[in-house]
A and B are shown apart, each in its own frame.
Chain A
Amino acid sequence: MSAVLDQQSATVAADTPIIELRNLSRRFEKKLDFAGKLAKRLGAPVREETVHAVDRVNLSIRKGEVVGLVGESGCGKSTLGRMVAGIMPPSEGTVLWRGQDVRSLNPAEAREAKLRTQMIFQDPYASLNPRMRVEDIVGEAPQFHGLVPARGFDTYVDEQMRRAGLDPAFKKRYPHQFSGGQRQRIGIARALAVKPEFIVCDEAVAALDVSIQAQILNLFMRLRQELDLTYLFISHDLSVVEHLSDRVVIMYLGRVVEQAPAEQVFARANHPYTVSLLSAVPRIEARKRAFTTVQGEIPSPLNPPSGCHFHPRCPHAHERCKVEVPALKEIAPGHFSACHLNDRA
C-alpha cells in the first residue's frame, strides 16, 4: 500500500522537502451571537472578530531535519502544527507533502500522507483515550489500516511498546495506571505504530518533570536515528529547542519573524524579539542576576498592532515599523529575519 508514495518518493528529486508550507494561513472567526447580529443590523460598530492564528507562513523541512518552532503562548504554534499534521484545514495557502499539494491527492494517497505525519501531544493525560487499553491505543490504527497481518499483531504491538521504552507486559493496562512519562511513551508508541516519517511534537515534554523530560528527549533523539525521522519540534522552552534542533523558527503573533540554523539563532540572533526572548530565559549558570525584561504584554491576537506586530515592545521601533509589515528576508545564508533594521545597514 505504501508503494504509491515510495515509488513517488524515488522519482522526486532528493532535495525536495518532505513538507513544505506555502503562504499558509489560518483564521478563526468569532461568530456574532444573536444580540450582536441585531446590534450590527441597527448600525452598532460591532464586527465579527477574527484571529489570525497563523499568518502567511512559508517553511520547508528537509528529510531528517529537526526544526524547532518557538514562540509565546497563543502565537499559533499548535495551529501550525495541526495544519502540518493534516487535522486542521488551512484558511489559505498550501501544504505540500513531498512536493505535492495534499489537496490534490486522491483519497488513498491522502490517507497515506496523513499516516506518514504523526503528532505527539503536550498533555500526557488528555492525549490518551482513558477507556482503551494500551494495546488498543497502540494497535488500533495499524490493525484498522491493515498495516500488520492479524497473526503478527501481538508481536507488532510488543515491538512498538519496547521501542518506546515500555514493558509489553503492561499492554493490558489502562492509561490511568501509568505515570506522566510513561503515558508520553505510550503516545510515542501509538505514533510510531503507523510507520511515520514526520513527527510534530507539540510541547511534548512541557508537562513533564525535569528528570523525566531528559528521558523523553533522549528517546526522541534515539528514534530519530533508528527510524530516520524528521521532526517539527514545537516548544516554548528555548533550552530544549537549542539542544536538539538543527534549525529554529521563531513565531510572533502568527508570523514567522526569524528562521535560521540553531547555532546562528543562539549565537547571532537578528530579530529584536528573538534577542529579548533569549535574554529572558533563566539560565542555571546565572547567579543572583538582575532579570532583564521585555517590556509590555503580549498583545491580543484579536487586535494585533499594525505594521510590525512587535513594535509596541521593541526597543528599536521607529516610524516605519508602525505602518509597514517587514518582510522575511535572507540576511545571511540560511538566516532569515523580518525586521526593518536590516534595510538600514
Chain B
Amino acid sequence: MTATLEVRDLQTHFFTRAGVVKAVDGVSFTVGRGKVLGLVGESGSGKSVTGFSIIGLVDAPGRVVGGQILYQGRNLAKISEEEMRQLRGNRIAMIFQDPMMTLNPVLRVDTQMIETVLAHEKVDRETARQRARDALGMVGIPSPDERLKSYPHQFSGGMRQRVAIAIALLHRPELIIADEPTTALDVTIQGQILAEVQKLAATTGTSLIWITHDLSVVAGLADDIAVMYAGRIVEEGEVSAVLDAPLHPYTVGLIGSVPSRNKRGEPLRQIPGMTPSLLKLPAGCAFRSRCARADEVCLQEPALFDLRPGQRARCFHPHLEEVAA
C-alpha cells in the first residue's frame, strides 16, 4: 500500500497571552491511497488544528513547531507559501463544517467553480464549465446546468455543502480533508452526503481524512480510525478492530456511552469529569484524572504502544483482556 500522506510527530502550538496551547502535540498517522481515515475526539482535542496544519492554514498565534507532513516525498511543513497555494485546492482540498468558508456569497456558483478550475489549469472556459457541471452531478445535485446559475444563498444548507464538496472535487484531488462537514445537517441529508462521498472514495481513489466527533459516522465510512485526546492520538487502528475491541480506557468509555450500546432506560455508561484545559495538562497521561485504571505508573507519559497487529494505544493498562470474541 502506498501512502498518500504521512504525518510524523506533528506539533502545532498556539502562543496565547495565557500561555502556550499545545493543540497538536506529536501526532503521527498515515493515509493510504483511496482510504478513509476517521479522526475522532471531543471538541478541543485538536482535530481541526491537525487538518489546518496539513494544508498550511493555521492562524496566528498558532504555528507548526515540529514534525513532518510528507506528501509525495515533500515535507509540507517546510515548503514555501506559494508552493502550498499550488497544492491547496488542487492536489489537497479541504471541506469545512460551514460551507460558506468555501463559497463566496456574492458570486454565482458557476463563476466560482470556473475560476477555481482556471486557477490551476490552462483550459478554455467551456471545458471548465463542463468540469463544474460534472462535479455537481457527481455529488448528486439534480439539474446541475440550472443550479450553476444560482447564488449560494439560494441553496439549502445540505445543497450548499454539496457544492462545497463539488468545488473540492474539481481538480480530482488526491487528498480531501473534511472537517465535520455533516455535523450541522439533518440525518437524512447527512446520509445522502455520506453515500456520495463513499462512492467517490471508492471510484476515484481519492484519500479522505474525515474529522468528526460522531463515532457512528466513522463506523460506516472509514477504513482506519484515530482517536484524539488533548492534542494526541490515544488509539489508532482499523475501524472494526478499534470499535469492536478498543484498548484505551478513553475509547472504551466513548464507545460505551453511545446510547445504542446501552440497555434502554438504564443509566448510560459515562466517562466522569471533563476534558482538561490544554493550558494546564497534568503530568503523565492526560486522561489520568478521568481514568478508572489510573495508578502511579500513569504519572509517566505513556507512548503509543503496539498492542495488537495494526492497533496501537497510548496507555499503560490497556483493555487487552477483553479480546474480541
Q: Which residues of A contact B (CB under 8 A)?
A: 72-73, 179, 181-182, 209-215, 217-218, 221-222, 236, 238-240, 242-244, 262, 276-277, 279-294, 297-298
With contact pairs A210-B215, A288-B223 given, residues A240 and B274 touching in the complex (Cβ less than 8 Å): no
Q: How far is the CA of A187 from the CA of B216 in the complex (A)?
A: 28
Which one of B190, B240, B269 contacts A214 once the chains associate, using CB atoms below 8 Å? B269
Q: Which of B42, B194, B217, B264 contacts A209 (CB 8 A)?
A: B42
Query: A222 is contacted by which of B186, B260, B262, B267 (Cβ under 8 Å)?
Result: B267
Closest residue of chain A to B277 (Cβ to Cβ) is A179
Contact (Cβ within 8 A) B43 A242: no
> Within 8 Å of chain A (Cβ to Cβ): is B243?
yes
Chain A positions within 8 Å of B62 at CB level:
none
CB neighbours (8 Å) of B239 from chain A are 287-288
Task: Tell me which residues from 136 to 162 in chain B have a Cβ below 8 Å from any Cβ of chain A.
Answer: 156, 158-159
> Chain B interface secondary structure, helix, strand, loop or mixed?
helix
Q: B194's contact among A182, A215, A222, A282, by CB below 8 Å, is which? A: A282
Contacts of A279 in B (CB 8 A): 191
B220/A298 in contact, CB under 8 A:
no
B325 contacts the other chain (CB 8 A): no
On whether the beta carbons of B253 and A276 are closer than 8 Å, the reply is no
By a CB distance below 8 angstroms, the chain B residues around A218 are 267-268, 270
Minimum C-beta distance from B214 to chain A (A): 7
| Number of residue pairs A-B, CB distance < 8 angstroms | 138
Chain B residue numbers with a CB within 8 Å of A244 are: 264-265
Of the A-B pairs whose beta carbons lie under 8 Å apart in the complex, a sample of 8, sorted by A's number, is: A73-B186, A211-B257, A211-B270, A214-B268, A221-B267, A280-B190, A282-B220, A284-B260
CB contacts (< 8 Å) of B189 on chain A: these are 297-298
Q: Are A181 and B187 in contact (CB under 8 A)?
A: no
B260 A285 Cβ-Cβ under 8 A: yes
Task: Say whether, besides A213-B257, A287-B220, A243 and B213 are in contact (CB < 8 Å).
Answer: no
Contact at B271–A211, with CB atoms within 8 Å? yes
Do A239 and B274 form a contact, CB below 8 Å, given A209-B42, A291-B194, A297-B158?
Answer: no
With A and B bound together, what is the CA distance between A290 and B197 in angstroms? 10
Interface pair B240/A240, CB less than 8 Å apart: no
Q: In whole angstroms, how far apart are the Cα atoms of A99 and B303 in the complex? A: 63
Within 8 A of A (CB), among B186-240: 186-192, 194-195, 198, 213-217, 219-221, 223, 239-240
Residues of A within 8 A of B270 (CB): 211, 214-215, 218
Residue B259 at the A interface, CB < 8 A?
Answer: yes
What's the minimum C-beta distance from A181 to chain B, rounded to whole angstroms?
Answer: 6
> Which chain B residues (244-292) contact chain A, with CB distance < 8 Å?
253-255, 257-262, 264-265, 267-272, 274-275
Which 10 A-B pairs have CB atoms at the shortest separation, nearest pair first?
A214-B257, A280-B191, A282-B216, A243-B259, A214-B270, A291-B195, A214-B268, A211-B271, A209-B42, A294-B188
User: Across the interface, do B186 and A297 meet the contact criterion of CB distance under 8 Å?
Assistant: no
Q: Determine the residue in chain B with the shortest Cβ distance to A313.
A: B188
Report the minimum CB–CB distance from A6 to chain B (whole Å). Answer: 29
Q: A290 contacts B260, CB within 8 Å?
A: no
Kindly state the separation between the CA atoms of A2 and B229 in the bound complex, as whole angstroms: 49
Q: Which residues of B contact A282 (CB under 8 A)?
A: 187, 190-191, 194, 214, 216-217, 219-220
Of all chain A residues, which has the CB nearest B219?
Answer: A284
Provide the residues of chain A in CB contact with B213, threshold 8 Å.
Answer: 209-210
| Chain B residues whose C-beta falls within 8 Å of the C-beta of A284 in the assembled complex | 215-216, 219, 243, 255, 258, 260-261
Verify A238–B271 contact, CB threshold 8 A: no
> In the complex, which residues of chain A have a beta carbon less than 8 angstroms from the beta carbon of B275?
179, 209
Q: Could you tell me if A209 and B198 are in contact, using CB atoms closer than 8 angstroms? A: no
Write the chain B residue with the least CB distance to A71: B186
Contact A289 B220 (CB under 8 A): yes
B191 near A294 with CB under 8 A, answer: yes
A289 to B219 CA separation, bound complex (whole angstroms): 8
Q: Is the CB of A280 within 8 A of B188?
A: yes
Given A210-B213, A214-B268, A282-B219: A239 and B253 interface contact (C-beta under 8 Å): no
Q: Are A211 and B253 interface neighbours, CB within 8 A?
A: yes
Distance from B213 Cβ to chain A, minimum over Cβ atoms (Å): 6
Contact status A72-B191, CB under 8 Å: no
B192 touches A294 (CB 8 A): yes
Establish whether residues A292 and B191, one from each chain, have CB atoms under 8 Å apart when the complex forms. Answer: yes
- For B44, the closest partner residue in chain A by CB is A209
Q: Determine if B158 and A290 form an interchain contact, defined as CB atoms under 8 angstroms apart.
A: no
18 extra interface residue pairs, beta carbon distance < 8 Å, beyond A214-B269, A288-B220: A210-B254, A211-B253, A212-B274, A214-B257, A214-B259, A214-B270, A239-B216, A239-B260, A242-B259, A282-B216, A282-B217, A284-B255, A286-B216, A287-B219, A292-B191, A293-B191, A294-B188, A294-B191
